[in-house]
Amino acid sequence: MAFNPLNERGIPLERQLRNWSELNVQPYDTRDVHPYTRCRVILMNGVEVEAAMFSHNFNRNLADVEMKQRLQRVRRVEQQQQKAVNWLIPGEKQENAIEVTIGYEQVAVDLTAWLARHEPDPYLKQVYEFGLLEDFDHLYRYANLMDLMGNGRRAEEITGDYTEITPGRPTIFEHRDPRDDIRRPMTVQAAHRQSILNAMTLVSAEQQTMNYYMTVGNRPTDPLARALYLEIAQIEEQHVSHYESCLDPTVSWLTNWVLHENHECWLYWSCFETEVDPRIKALWELHLSMEIEHLRIAARALEEVEGKDAAELIGAGYEAPMTFEENKAYLREVVSRQVDLTAWDSEFLPVEELPEGHRYFAYQAQVNAGGAPSEQVIERHREEFGGEYRFEPEGEHPVAPLRTEGPHAELGYWRAGAGDGVARIA
């Protein structure tokens, strides 16, 4: 049976404020937490950050004082929700920045994989699969970095056996001219409602990762660790542009407010339906009840100002929750057929099909001059440990040239198939 938040009773807004001790929640136990509980916490923090950022930008573009006050009352509670969720993540001594980073990349991999598998629009599905292979590679690079840092834990202890750690599209080849990271936008009127939810989810998740790396990337002392965060942080900016350009740029601020609140309802409902930790499940239920009221407030504003019915945007409700689950077979299939893709304007094609002198090659030559940290971290791991770190419970890599652990094994695949343009850069 579908869950329709417009048909549910939420908590009145005046009862939603919490005191400091209520917000200063007990963190999860990093040695005992389920990997996908960690993923849900990371995701919902990103969703609340997006809600706050959207609301602040709406406030800056709004003249009506009474409406600004309505928005501010909801935003204050959204900020409290973000604190309660984010404070579930333990402090530095229990879970340090590189360990949290592994969690962020597991979110990116298994969240994007689920959304791609459940995306009804073929173009958007391709957009998601394209980004998926890049985050998949980031997990592998950071896992090798964590091993080098002598952290005392290996990445598989954080991700469990749910997510493989192995090369995706090599990060060195993900750097593209900025013009080639803009995608075709959907239109809310024509788009499937699931497509809207999917795109908003990925914008929130990737924006959070971008912001996190912008903040913590300079915290390590090792120059190579700082360099890897710097390089991958740039790809996260590309990903935010990649996903956000799929959203409808023509809808009003009030319509967007309704879509944001509906999006939060869907994801809190999804987390509540799938959570295995009873204490955290109760938090998801509480926040869902709050968001139901936030959606009602936004829907009323839309009707008052624009005469539009929010039910026409939302439809009959949600048929199924978003689920964190293993996607190993699906990822292997996507890697095997898409590892050599790049982008040209809003389309995707194999690197070898780019014309001679394409801007991709010039951009690659500029940013990768002197080497790429994402390659150097693998080289150092091979030098110090005699090989690289991988976690491949499903067997050897599905792409033959990426199975070898020799120097620049990844580059061999691209040199063989991409022509002189990439070969000169590599």
Residue 386 domain flag: no
> Which pLDDT value is given to residue 84?
98
Answer whether 321's CB lies under 8 Å from 269's CB: yes
- For 299-342, write each residue's pLDDT tens digit: 999 999 999 999 999 999 998 999 999 999 999 999 999 999 99
For residue 391, the 8-state DSSP code is: B
Q: What is the DSSP string of 279-302?
A: HHHHHHHHHHHHHHHHHHHHHHHH
Residue at 44 is within a domain: yes
Q: Give pLDDT tens digits for 399-415.
A: 999 997 654 444 444 44
Q: List Cβ neighbours of 289 (8 Å cut-off, separation of 6 or more).
A: 10, 11
Contact 263, 313 (CB under 8 A): no
End-to-end Cα distance, the chain: 54
Q: For the residues 118-129, what does the mean pLDDT come to?
A: 98
Q: pLDDT at position 420, please?
A: 40
Q: Report if residue 366 sits inside a domain.
A: no
Q: If residue 48 lies in a helix (H) or strand (E), which one and from where to where?
A: helix 35-60
What are the DSSP calls for 110-122, one per residue? HHHHHHHHT--SH
Amino acid, single-letter form, for residue 370 = G
Q: Which two tokens stand for residue 22?
A: 């209520």
Q: Number of helices (H) and strands (E), helices first, in the chain?
A: 16, 2
Backbone angles phi, psi at 320, to 5 degrees: -145, 150
Is the C-alpha dihedral spanning 296, 300, 301, 303 positive or negative? Answer: positive
The more confidently predicted of residues 222 and 151 is 222
Q: What angle do CA 220, 224, 230 make, to 5 degrees?
A: 75
Domain that holds residue 326: 5-330
Q: Which residues contact 116 (CB under 8 A, 6 or more apart)?
A: 125, 128, 129, 132, 334
In 3D space, the residue among 344, 385, 416, 375 whose CA is nearest the CA of residue 167 turns out to be 375
In whole angstroms, give the CA distance from residue 287 to residue 345: 40
Based on the structure, what is the number of domains in the chain? Answer: 1
Instruction: Determine the Cα–Cα distance for residues 184 and 127; give it in Å rounded to an integer.
Output: 10
The string of pLDDT tens digits covering residues 58-106 is 999 999 999 999 999 999 999 999 999 999 999 998 999 999 999 999 9
In a domain, 304, yes or no: yes
Q: What is the pLDDT of residues 37-65, one digit of tens each?
A: 999 999 999 999 999 999 999 999 999 99
194 burial (CB, 10 Å; 0-12 / 13-18 / 19+) is buried
- Tokens read off for 341: 């893709």
**Residue 422 Rama label (left phi>0; alpha psi -120 to 50; beta):** alpha
What gap in Å lies between CA 282 and CA 290, rounded to an integer?
13
Instruction: Determine, yes or no, domain membership for 318.
Output: yes
pLDDT single digits (tens) 211-268: 999 999 999 999 999 999 999 999 999 999 999 999 999 999 999 999 999 999 999 9
Inside any domain, residue 362: no
Q: In this structure, are residues 301 and 102 in contact, taking their beta carbons and an 8 Å threshold?
A: no
| Inter-CA distances, 41 with 192, 266, 284, 385, Å | 27, 15, 10, 33
Determine, yes or no, domain membership for 365. Answer: no
pTM of the model: 0.95
Which residue carries 């998926």 as its tokens? Answer: 132
| 323, part of any domain | yes
DSSP 3: B
Looking up tokens 């343009």, which residue turns up? 421
